[in-house]
Amino acid sequence: MQQEEQCFDLVVVGAGSGGLAAAKRAASYGASVAIVEGSRVGGTCVIRGCVPKKLLVYGSAMGEQLADAPSYGWPVQPVPPQTDVLLSHVRREVDRLNGIHEAALARAGVTLVRGWAHFLDGQHLQVGDQVLRGTTILIAVGGEPVRPPLPGADLALVSDDLFLLERFPRSMVIIGGGYIACEFACILRGLGVAVTQVVRRQLLRGFDGGCVASVEAGMVDQGVVLRKGTSPQAISRLPDGYQVTLVEGGSLEAEAVLLATGRQPRLEGLNLEAAGVVVDGQRIPVDQDQRTNLPHVFAVGDVTDRVNLTPVAVDEGRAFADSQFGHKPRRADHSLVASAVFTQPELATVGLSEEEARRQHGEAVRVCEARFRSLSRALPKTGSPCHLKLVLGPQERVLGCHMVGEHSAEIIQMAAIALGMGATKGDFDRTMALHPSISEEFVTM
């Protein structure tokens, strides 16, 4: 039977952060827009990433607050967490946000097409029994966890699975040293799970080394067991858990294993060859206007594998829509993107690490740092010290601003404005301190 095609000015593939932003912005300019989603509307960030993860971070950190409470005159006794309750409450919030995003699409007049999209040619996509024709097509399918080719890799959990558990296990081996591994090591440890983290090189490669050392000290202090310089060889099942054998010899046992060994664009099933979209390895290369090798096919977010962060995908999506449908051409700016790792202690950063600044500017680099216990920890006398760091370049320009400690993500977000404006150490010094605060150290160093 001949399938009737539905025609749109824009077909967006993937209702995650980048796709949703682009679809709604394009619709606001009067374009007819369809968005295709095979899973839940909201994508990685809302459904199985940033948002539920941050809620788990809050839940995990609650234990430390309870432990500190007696020193502030609240004579509460430590109690074991009910991780089943935490996980079900987090899922309820994710459901609520999923509903909000679906309602927002409907309000914006965007047609939601449920199913997995498959290119038939450069202009047409098959979704279930429907055929969509897009004058312009945006690929915003995001990424997915990578399982390394280890024997037994399929026995391990990946980060997506953690949000679906009924309760957290009593012990876990986490493989990886990146964002996801470190964040979950801290979340789980804070919830009483015995965590061993297998790190083949170093933690948080690419971040400022001195700050990573402070995070590492805090994680060890919290009770995360780090096995650095080790790699997994195989994962096997035991009667009551799993065993990870290590390349360097020996093995680790736990109730569960988490593979947090990176993410990659989710291209499977898209049939990009039929469209003629060029792929580089596992990613879709684009130019500064988010355009692929085809003039009418664009891509934003993690599928382009550049700066894989939600706000970047959102801005790329909006810049694409402004340029293609709003007659307001602009490009997403990938310089000075602030980011945070929600470990306990939290790490946040904007600009160059000390190592990268020295590579680029050599002797001209100067570093100012402060390490101290925050006032909030003065009574309980617990917790790792805060670590604040400014990396200065030629003419004392602030090239990097890094922080480990309470509220560092909130503080660095504001510092990013100053760095974006080209602030110098003199500008920081001229700013009156706000006392007592942690971030006042940035203007008094």
- Residues of this chain that interact with ligand NDP (CB under 6 A) are 148, 175-181, 183, 200-201, 205, 231-232, 260-263, 308-309, 339-342
Q: Which amino acid is at 140?
A: A
Q: How far is the CB of 338 from ligand NDP (least distance, A)?
A: 10
Coil, strand or helix at 188: helix
Take residue 136 and report the two structure tokens written for it. Answer: 């312009």
Backbone phi, psi, residue 101, to 5°:
-65, -40
Alpha helices in 109-222 (DSSP H): 159-162, 179-190, 209-222
Active site residue 435: yes
Task: Closer to ligand NDP by CB, 201 or 327: give it.
Answer: 201
Q: How far is the CB of 13 from ligand NDP (least distance, A)?
A: 20
Residue closest to ligand NDP when measured from CB atoms: 178
Query: What CA–CA distance (Å, rounded) separates 108 from 122?
Result: 26
Task: Closer to ligand NDP by CB, 179 or 325: give it.
Answer: 179
Q: How far is the CB of 74 from ligand NDP (least distance, A)?
A: 31
Task: Closer to ligand NDP by CB, 308 or 374: give it.
Answer: 308
Q: How far is the CB of 429 from ligand NDP (least distance, A)?
A: 30
Task: Closer to ligand NDP by CB, 133 or 407: give it.
Answer: 407
Residues 91-123 as b or e (16 or more Cβ within 10 Å = b) = eeebeebbeebbeebeebebbebeebbbbbeeb
Q: Largest Cα–Cα distance of the chain, in whole Å?
A: 75
Task: Closer to ligand NDP by CB, 261 or 290: give it.
Answer: 261
Q: How far is the CB of 206 from ligand NDP (least distance, A)?
A: 8
- Which helix (H) or strand (E) segment holds residue 299: the answer is strand 297-299
User: Which residues share a beta bridge with 63?
Assistant: none
Check if the beta carbon of residue 300 is closer than 8 Å to that of residue 320: yes
User: Which residues are tagged catalytic?
Assistant: 435
